[in-house]
Amino acid sequence: MDMYIDYTGTIYGSILGLEPNSDVDEVYKTVKEEFQSQFHLTVLDALGFNNTYTLAIDKDLAKKYNIETISDLCKVSKQLTFSPTLTFMERKDCWLGLQKSYPIQFKNIIPIDGSPRYTALTSHECDVIDAYSTDGLLKKFDLKVLKDDRSFFLPYHAIPIINERIEKEFPEIIPIVNQLQKYLNEDVMVDLNYRVDELKEKPKDVAKEFLVQHQLIKE
């Protein structure tokens, strides 16, 4: 394998074993330097979207309690039921750390793995779920994504990683891949993921159409 995409938060926390850090620039710099020194791999520019953890609620609930941020949620959380994934409950950069950064306490916590937690939310079996900020289901269910106003969650910026062979033999690839950041962001990725997850389009077809649309490749 010559190139793959990973997330800064995954590398920083899971691979390098470092404590949670919400400083975007510091996390990226550390990941880039450590991957070069430890593995002789080169990290390219971030692709332009942050697939971090977030909390999501129904828009009617957000309107009822005027909830825009996680701090706003904390004011009414004792009245609400939270249904995160089991992974979210167990990670120190998720629920375990979130409680230390925010005064958040729920009436009930009922973990539900996978997409069923979205249907539980829309059927009012729960009030709050965890999500990734680029989940296509956020669009399907038209949910309100809450702002992490205390910058607790690790940045999960998508980054291309290449090995030394590619860097030496095909350096022209680097500026080509780096230009993707001009076209990608969280909203774009939600739309693209929605087409794959909900509309069942093939990933390669969605990707090709996107690249052609922005004149990055020809038909």
Q: pLDDT of 49-92, one tens digit each?
A: 999 999 999 999 999 999 999 999 999 999 999 999 999 999 88
DSSP secondary structure code for residue 77 in this structure: G
Residue 69, pLDDT score: 98
Confidence band, pLDDT 50/70/90 cuts, at residue 199:
very high
Confidence band, pLDDT 50/70/90 cuts, at residue 219:
confident
Average pLDDT, the chain: 95
DSSP secondary structure code for residue 30 in this structure: H
Taking residues 103-132, report their average pLDDT: 95
CB 139 within 8 A of CB 188: no
CB 42 within 8 A of CB 162: yes
**What is the value of pTM for the model shown?**
0.85
Residue 111 has pLDDT above 90, yes or no: yes
**Residue pLDDT, tens place only, 147-167:** 999 999 989 999 999 999 999
Element (H, E) at 86: helix 86-90
Residue 13, pLDDT score: 87
